[in-house]
Chains A and B, each alone.
Chain A
Amino acid sequence: EAGVVQSPRYKIIEKKQPVAFWCNPISGHNTLYWYLQNLGQGPELLIRYENEEAVDDSQLPKDRFSAERLKGVDSTLKIQPAELGDSAVYLCASSLGFASGSYNEQFFGPGTRLTVL
């Protein structure tokens, strides 16, 4: 079974340019997450979707970041305009829908490594 797919794997852009990342979760996983990981740090949640609804976007810098999951399957994360400090790895993860009182393992994609020059 295919895991979480992300593209592109690497992206190099100049500051002030827009950039978009794409994620296709594991089939049947209703919950999708976007994380940001800086070097030497753990992943930090940017946004969580339950199907097509963004249920937690409190950590998403909404002045420049946006995300969508229109049909409740794949998702796109966009940055416009990019800044030097946005250089990081952007990870997508998915899990089965939240079942009351249980934890569903999150499966991560390989990430997109963004470099802003």
Chain B
Amino acid sequence: RKEVEQDPGPFNVPEGATVAFNCTYSNSASQSFFWYRQDCRKEPKLLMSVYSSGNEDGRFTAQLNRASQYISLLIRDSKLSDSATYLCVGSGSARQLTFGSGTQLTVLP
């Protein structure tokens, strides 16, 4: 079993839709969590950190549930430019990042 698991998608949604991605992690020692975004044939870039209390950055909301070892990302009012692969990432005590396989999102006009 992979340490970080994501639904690979693809998710195809119309512009303006709300879409949610889920991720589970198996290492209960993981301390920090993040969502990275990766455009086609580009490098990953940090989208946002994930906190237990939930955090919001514009149209993006991230949530961590430690009891269920579950992380989510919600995108509201999807834009064409949101089309990308979203990588769920966990970090343990050594601050080593463990990436999920990514969820592919395509926002359709």
List A residues at the B interface (Cβ < 8 Å): 40-45, 48, 56, 91, 98, 103-106, 108-111
Contacts and interface: CB of A to CB of B under 8 A. Distances in A.
Interface residues of B, number: 20
Nearest to A111: B43
Interface string B90-105: 0100111101111000
Interface string B32-44: 1000000000111
Given A42-B89, A48-B96, A108-B45, 20 more contacts: A40-B101, A40-B102, A42-B4, A42-B87, A42-B99, A42-B100, A42-B101, A44-B99, A45-B96, A91-B43, A98-B95, A103-B32, A103-B49, A103-B91, A105-B46, A106-B46, A106-B97, A108-B43, A109-B43, A110-B42
Contacts of B94: 56
- For the complex of A and B, the 7 pairs showing the least CB-CB separation, nearest first, are A42-B99, A108-B43, A41-B101, A103-B32, A43-B99, A105-B46, A42-B87
Contacts of B42: 110
Interface of B: 4, 8, 32, 42-46, 49, 87, 89, 91, 94-97, 99-102
Contact of A40 (B4, B8, B46, B96): B8
A42 B36 CA distance: 10
A91 B46 CA distance: 15
B65 to A, nearest CB: 20
A56 B87 CA distance: 22
A45 B43 contact: no
6 contacts: A40-B102, A41-B102, A42-B87, A42-B102, A44-B99, A98-B95
Contacts of B43: 91, 108-111
A45 B8 contact: no
A43 B44 CA distance: 9
Contacts of A44: 99
Contacts of B96: 45, 48, 56
